[in-house]
C-alpha cells in the first residue's frame, strides 16, 4: 500500500545539505541532486520511487533531474514524478528545482527526436502534462544535433523561457565549440545559460580535457555532473560479480561488457583507497567531484533509499591531499 500521507521533515534544510551558487545566477543548488533516468520508470515499483523522492527531499535534495524519455518506458519517470507531485510534493513546489530535457529519441516520426523547435516545444508541453506542473525550472537541450541549425534549437529554449514554461535554459553534452555558440546566442537574448550538464567522474575526464569546465565557469554557467558514479561502476556494487538487482543485471544502460578485468582492477584499487580514507567508494567518488570548485552539483542515480543515505555522507567527506589526487589519477590512468 502506497502511503499518500506525507509531510516534509521540518529539519530538511538543517540536516547537512550544502547549497552551491550556480554560475553567475541567483540560484543555489544542492551539492547532491537526484536523477530519474533509471529506477523511476513504470518497470520500477512506484512505492520505492515515492520513498526515494521523499527521503531525498527530507534531506535537502531539492533538485530532481528528469528528461522526456526517462523510464523505461519513455515518459514514465515523468509520470511517476507527476503522481508524487499530485499526492505529496505539490505544497513544496516552490522549494523544488525541477529540470527536464528533450533531444533524444522520444516518439515515432521525424518530430520526436533531435533538435528542432517543433520537437523541443511539443516535448516540453508533454513533459509538463506528465509531471503535472505548470513550469520546469530548467529546460535543457539534451544533446547537440549537428543536423539542426543551433540557432533554431537555442531559440526554442529562449521561447520556452519567454513563455513561462521554463524559468531557465540549459544545455547537455554539447562539444565546447558548440557550447560557445549556444552561450553567446542565449546571452544575447537575455536568457543566460544556467547549467551545462555533462558526464564527469573519476573514470571520465572529458569535461576537464575538452575545456568544458573552464568554459562554463568563464561564461557564468553552472556545471552539473551526471553519472558521477559511472552508473554504479565507481561503487562497491560489482566487486564480487553482478548482483541480480543491479543496473547491469536488469538490462539498464550499463552493459556487462563494461566490467572488464582492467576496469574491475582499477575499481578494487580505488575501493582500497576509499577504505583507507574511512569511506565507501561511492562517497569517495562523489567527494572527488565535489572537491572541484567548478562543479556546482552532482546528479546521483539511486535504486534504494539506502544508496541515497550512503551518498549523502559525502557531505562529511574529508578533502583530498595532492598525493591522494595523484594516486587516483595513476590508478585510473593505469
Ligand atoms: N544529460 C544526459 O545526457 C544524462 C545522461 C545520463 C544521466 N543523466 C542524469 O544523471 C543522473 C544520474 O545518472 P546515473 O544514474 O548514471 O548516476 P550514477 O550515480 O553514476 O549511477 C547510479 C547507480 O549507481 C548505483 N549506486 C548509487 N549509489 C550507490 C551506493 N551508495 N552504493 C552502491 N551503488 C550505488 C546504483 O546502481 P544500481 O541501480 O545497480 O543499484 C545507481 O542506480 C540520471 O538519473 C540523469 O538524471 C543525464
d(CA 38, CA 35): 8
d(CA 59, CA 308): 10
Closest residue by CA, ligand 1 atom 13: 227
**Grid cell of 171 as nine digits:** 544545455
Cα–Cα–Cα angle for 38, 43, 48, rounded to 5 degrees: 70
Taking 3-state DSSP, the helix, strand and coil percentages for the chain, each rounded to the nearest 5, stand at 45, 15, 40
Q: How many CB atoms lie within 10 A of CB 233?
A: 24
Q: Of all helices (H) and strands (E), which one includes residue 184? A: helix 176-188
Best of 70, 231, 255, 256 to mutate for ligand 1, by most ligand atoms within 8 A of CB? 231
How many angstroms separate the alpha carbon of residue 184 from the centre of ligand 1? 31
Q: What is the pLDDT along the chain (334 residues), one digit of tens a residue?
A: 455 589 999 999 999 999 999 999 999 999 999 999 999 999 999 999 999 999 999 999 999 999 999 999 999 999 999 999 999 999 999 999 999 999 999 999 999 999 999 999 999 999 999 999 999 999 999 999 999 999 999 999 999 999 999 999 999 999 999 999 999 999 999 999 999 999 999 999 999 999 999 999 999 999 999 999 999 999 999 999 999 999 999 988 999 999 999 999 999 999 999 999 999 999 999 999 999 999 999 999 999 999 999 999 999 989 999 999 999 999 999 8
Q: Which of 99, 96, 156 is nearest to 122 (CA)?
A: 156
Ligand 1 pocket (Cβ < 6 Å) reads 35-39, 65, 142, 172-173, 197, 226-232, 235-237, 246-247, 282, 299-303, 307, 310-311
Q: How many CB atoms lie within 10 A of CB 179?
A: 25
Strands 295-300 and 32-35: what pairing? parallel
In the chain, where the domains are located: 19-257+281-319
d(CA 143, CA 174): 6
Closest residue by CA, ligand 1 atom 17: 227
Question: What pTM did the predictor assign?
Answer: 0.98
Q: Of all helices (H) and strands (E), which one includes residue 299? A: strand 295-300
Q: Which CATH number fits domain 19-257+281-319: 3.30.70.2740, 3.40.50.1400, 3.40.190.10, 3.20.20.100?
A: 3.20.20.100
Amino acid at each position: 500500500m502506497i502511503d499518500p500521507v506525507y509531510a516534509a521533515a521540518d529539519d530538511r534544510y538543517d540536516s547537512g545539505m550544502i547549497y552551491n551558487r550556480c554560475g553567475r545566477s541567483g540560484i543555489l543548488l544542492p551539492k547532491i541532486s537526484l536523477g530519474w533516468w533509471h529506477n523511476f520508470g513504470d518497470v520500477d515499483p512506484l512505492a520505492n520511487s515515492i520513498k526515494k523522492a521523499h527521503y531525498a527531499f527530507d534531506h535537502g535534495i531539492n533538485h530532481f533531474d528528469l528528461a522526456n524519455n526517462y523510464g523505461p518506458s519513455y515518459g514514465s519517470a515523468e509520470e511517476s514524478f507527476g503522481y508524487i507531485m499530485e499526492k505529496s510534493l505539490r505544497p513544496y513546489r516552490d522549494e523544488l528545482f525541477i529540470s527536464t530535457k528533450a533531444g533524444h529519441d522520444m516518439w515515432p516520426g521525424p518530430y520526436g527526436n533531435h533538435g528542432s523547435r517543433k520537437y523541443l516545444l511539443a516535448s516540453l508541453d508533454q513533459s509538463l502534462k506528465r509531471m503535472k506542473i505548470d513550469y520546469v525550472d530548467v529546460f535543457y537541450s539534451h544533446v547537440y544535433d549537428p543536423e539542426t541549425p543551433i540557432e533554431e534549437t537555442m531559440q526554442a529554449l529562449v521561447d520556452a523561457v519567454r513563455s513561462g514554461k521554463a524559468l531557465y535554459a540549459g544545455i547537455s553534452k554539447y562539444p565546447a565549440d558548440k557550447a560557445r555558440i549556444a552561450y553567446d546566442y542565449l546571452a544575447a537574448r537575455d536568457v543566460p545559460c544556467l547549467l551545462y550538464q555533462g558526464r564527469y567522474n573519476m573514470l571520465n575526464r572529458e569535461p576537464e580535457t575538452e575545456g568544458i569546465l573552464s568554459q562554463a565557469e568563464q561564461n557564468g554557467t553552472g556545471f552539473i555532473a551526471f553519472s558521477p558514479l559511472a552508473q554504479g561502476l565507481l561503487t562497491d556494487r560489482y566487486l564480487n560479480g553482478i548482483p541480480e538487482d543491479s543496473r547491469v543485471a536488469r538490462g539498464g544502460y550499463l552493459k556487462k561488457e563494461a566490467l572488464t578485468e582492467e576496469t574491475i582492477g582499477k575499481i578494487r584499487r580505488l575501493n582500497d583507497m576509499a577504505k583507507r580514507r574511512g569511506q565507501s567508494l561511492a562517497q569517495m567518488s562523489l567527494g572527488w567531484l565535489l572537491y572541484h570548485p567548478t562543479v556546482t552539483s552532482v546528479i546521483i542515480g539511486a535504486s534504494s533509499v539506502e544508496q541515497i543515505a550512503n551518498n549523502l555522507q559525502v557531505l562529511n567527506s574529508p578533502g583530498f591531499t595532492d598525493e591522494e589526487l595523484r594516486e587516483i589519477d595513476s590508478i585510473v590512468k593505469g
